[in-house]
């Protein structure tokens, strides 16, 4: 079974139990993801490991803020690959990232309907 896209209990604890604020923060995070994904893909297309590291680091921090652990772990992996300049493995990791982002979007839509 796949892990939840966010640790909602931890996220709520971090925000003093404010569910409305969590949804606002989560929405903001989801809105920023397309630009970060574009940055990641552009960096890979250009073979720019330092740009990949910066975009992955940004995503890692933003994911940590909303307790989106699968995205945070995947961003960390991208960051590590960029440090080692192992860009040949990045496409597989980016595919995983897109899967995690899709699951997060579905999760957020479901939670908002509750």
Query: In 3-state terms, what secondary structure has residue 68?
Result: coil
pTM of the model: 0.92
In order, the DSSP letters of 75-96 are: HHHHHHHHHTT-GGGHHHHHHH
Torsion sign, CA atoms 75, 32, 104, 91? negative
The residue ranges of every structural domain in the chain are 8-108
Task: Retrieve residue 94's tokens.
Answer: 């980016």
Fold for domain 8-108?
Answer: 1.20.120
pLDDT tens for the chain, 114 residues long, are 566 899 989 999 999 999 999 999 999 999 999 999 999 999 999 999 999 999 999 999 999 999 999 999 999 999 999 999 888 889 999 999 999 999 999 998 888 777
């Amino acid at each position: 079974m796949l892990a939840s896209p966010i640790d909602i209990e931890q996220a709520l604890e971090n925000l003093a139990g404010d569910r409305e604020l969590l949804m606002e923060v989560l929405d903001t995070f989801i809105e920023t993801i397309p630009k970060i994904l574009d940055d990641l893909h552009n960096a890979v297309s250009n073979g720019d490991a330092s740009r990949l590291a910066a975009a992955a680091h940004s995503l890692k921090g933003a994911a940590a803020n909303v307790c989106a652990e699968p995205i945070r772990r995947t961003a960390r992996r991208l960051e590590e690959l960029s440090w080692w300049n192992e860009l040949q493995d990045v496409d597989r990791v980016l595919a995983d990232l897109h899967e995690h982002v899709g699951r997060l979007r579905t999760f957020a839509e479901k939670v908002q309907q509750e």
